[in-house]
Structure 1
Amino acid sequence: MVAEVSFLEVATTLPFKHELAKIHIEQTKYVAFWISMAYVVVIFSTKAFMANRKPFDLTGPLNLWNAWLAIFSTLGSIATSIGLLHEIFSRGFTASYIHIGDFYNGTSGLFTWLFVLSKVAEFGDTMFIVLRKKPLMFLHWYHHVLTMNYAFITFKDNLGFNVWITWMNFTVHSIMYGYYMLRSFGVKVPAWIAKNITTMQILQFVITHFILFHVGYLAATGAPVDSTPTFYWFCLLMEISYVVLFGNFYYQSYIKGGGKKFNAEKKEKKEH
């Protein structure tokens, strides 16, 4: 029987111990799963509850919410960038995504563990959407639920390609939440910036596909890779679904009929 490992124990143990973090995530993954199920029930119940009510003005809390996620994601991007560059320069480019190396130790390891936990916290994004009566897309909640469960379930298995996935997600989120923060503070951000952020999101999934294809090829030819068949296919199918859904969102928002976001921006300029 493995002793219970608390958040504080992992967070305050110096230097950071990846093995301790794995025990913590393994012990909390089922709780996280049921939270994700409750999340789906709560957001749709809240959406129904708000149907005949006025949207809440949550400007202050939204400012704080986007600010902390922007800061956290930026710090995570910096930490994992350093960790990934260390892997590339010390072991080689290909090795950086087929073996975990030292990435899960030290500061990059600490932020990877926090990254997994933050996927539960990010459910709060959706509460702001439904309480403010903004459109709730399937893409939004599906992406939140699947990414969170994938992160928790695969953490203990030391998947080499998760190194790149973590780094890319942190980096894209640092820009995305920075954009959300500016928007919530009332800064008028051009639609082309939102378009470029969506492009970056799709690009991270495309890069992941290339990495997964190479990992799959190496595994098929007998080369040693830090992966498991089950989680490899889980990740690949998840990433395919993300490309399809985000690609459709990109088309609807920025291409079809001139793009909803660009049309809304033009309309706003005319009104002023």
Structure 2
Amino acid sequence: MGLKNVTLFLDPALSSLNYGDDIHDYPLMQHPAQPAAIVALYFVFVFSLGPKLMKNRQAFDLRKIMTIYNITQILFNLVVFVMAAKVIQNFSLYCSPPNNSNTPLDISVRKIHYYYGVLKFLDLLDTIFFVLRKKPQQITYMHVHHHVGMAATTWATAKYFPGGATGFIFFYNTLVHALMYGYYLMSSWNSAKAIWWKKYLTQIQIVQQLFYDTMFTIHLFNANCNYSKGWLMFYLCNTFLMTYFFSAFYKKNYMSKKQVSDRKIE
């Protein structure tokens, strides 16, 4: 069963929509095999080929490359954020159906969604750098799940359910990622411990996930909202999981044992 058939199974009412529309022929968007191949190569390199190549080698000093990469990510995320800021006023927290029509607004939203999706594949380079720098401890389940999950779901959403409720994601997430890569840029040349706002960046990420949890729940239980309920449930499962991951990370890294004990007593 292809992805289009899957979406029709989740919500038959979408059968009249023109899937993909003008971004259908964009790079990476022609067929699910394209993003699937990228993800497959990612897994092969991160968990097999990369570690074998680096086994008897010194870790690469990638500070200059990572500086360019981080600056590029900051700029690209800010560009998409500004683009999204111009259309976000047309979205509703109560119901934002997919942007599938051929109005100028819907075409713009689909293109923004596509650009955001490209950024999610660019994010996969984070893990590649970990391998080349011999930092296996940073390749956690949370890290891999988040990166692969975002790339895959953003692609599928841009292809079959563009814009709509997910428009809030590429609006807020690009700003958060610009801040995150700003932190990476500073920490690549200085001690990460010296950057005092790392803790608050994690707090921002938790708040972001809580917002998604709330917004998708509202859409899901709004019977009059024409956005696939099946896809909303899928997104909710993922956002709840990421809320848990970020919260657990924050508790582990920023809450002292005494603070944790005090919380348990209350």
Q: Confirm or deny a common fold (TM above 0.5).
A: yes
> Where does structure 1 differ by over 6 angstroms across 4 or more consecutive aligned residues?
none
1:3-28 per-residue CA deviation (whole Å, 9 max, x = no partner) reads xxxxxxxxxxxxxxx82114435414
For residue 68 of structure 1, report the CA deviation from its aligned partner: 0.2
User: 2:3 maps to which residue?
Assistant: none
Distance change in 2, residues 1:131/1:198 (3 Å): same
Describe the shift of the 1:50–1:258 C-alpha distance in structure 2 as closer, same or farther (beyond 3 A). Answer: farther
Partners of 2:188 and 2:111 in 1: how far apart?
Answer: 29
- Match 1:59 to one of 50, 57, 63: 63
Aligned mates of 2:169, 2:123 — CA distance in 1: 17
Give unmatched runs, 5+ long, in structure 1.
1-17, 260-272
Distance 1:201 1:241 in 2: 13
Per the alignment, residue 229 of structure 2 pairs with 229
Q: Give the TM-score normalised by structure 2.
A: 0.78
Checking the alignment, whether the CA contact within 8 Å between 1:40 and 1:141 is kept in structure 2 is no
> Given residue 56 of structure 1, which amino acid in structure 2 is its aligned partner?
F
Q: For residues 193-243 of structure 1, what are the alpha-carbon distances to aligned partners after superposition, in whole Å with 9 as ceiling and x for unaligned?
A: 111111111111110111111111112xxx132x21331121111111111
- Report the counterpart of residue 149 of structure 1 in structure 2: 152
**Which of 28, 33, 38 is the equivalent residue of 2:36?**
33
1:11 is matched with which residue?
A: none
Q: How many residues align?
A: 232
Equivalence for 1:250: 250
Listed as ranges, the matches of 1:169-184 within 5 Å are 169-184=173-188
Does the 8 Å contact 1:119/1:147 carry over to 2? yes
What's the Cα RMSD here? 2.5
CA contact (8 A) 2:187 2:195 kept: no
Letter of the 1:77 partner, please give it: F
**Residues 176-255 of structure 1 aligned to structure 2 (within 5 Å):** 176-186=180-190, 190-219=194-223, 223-225=224-226, 227-255=227-255
Structure 1 residues 200, 104: CA separation in 2 closer, same or farther (over 3 Å shift)? farther
Q: Which amino acid aligns with 1:75?
A: V
Relative contact order (alpha carbons < 8 A, sep ≥ 6): 1 or 2 greater?
2
SS of corresponding position for 1:53? coil
Contact 2:77 2:178 in 1 (8 A): yes
Q: Distance in 2 between matches of 1:120 and 1:254?
A: 29
Partner deviation per Cα, 1:43-88 (whole Å, 9 max, x = no partner): 1121354345321111111111111001101111111122103x15
Code of the aligned partner of 2:234: F
Q: Contact conserved, 1:98 with 1:215, CA < 8 A, in 2?
A: no
Structure-1 separation of matches of 2:32 and 2:116: 14
How far did residue 139 of structure 1 move?
0.9
The separation in 1 between residues aligned to 2:126 and 2:250, in whole angstroms, is 20
Out of 139, 142, 163, the residue aligned to residue 139 of structure 1 is 142
C-alpha distance in structure 1 between counterparts of 2:258 and 2:81, whole Å: 33
Call closer, same or farther: CA 1:166–1:57 in 2, change over 3 Å.
same
Q: Shift of residue 175 of structure 1?
A: 0.8
Residue 4 of structure 2: aligned partner:
none
1:99 to 1:230, Cα distance in 2 relative to 1, 3 A: closer
- Partner residue in 2 for 1:163: 167
Q: In percent, how many aligned pairs have the same letter?
A: 22
CA distance in 2 between partners of 1:140 and 1:104 (Å): 32
Secondary structure of 2:87 counterpart: helix
Question: With structure 1 as the length reference, what TM-score do the two structures score?
Answer: 0.76
1:21 aligns with 2:23: yes
Deviation at residue 258 of structure 1 after TM alignment: 8.2
Deviations 1:131-161 (A, max 9, x none): 1122221111111111111011121223521
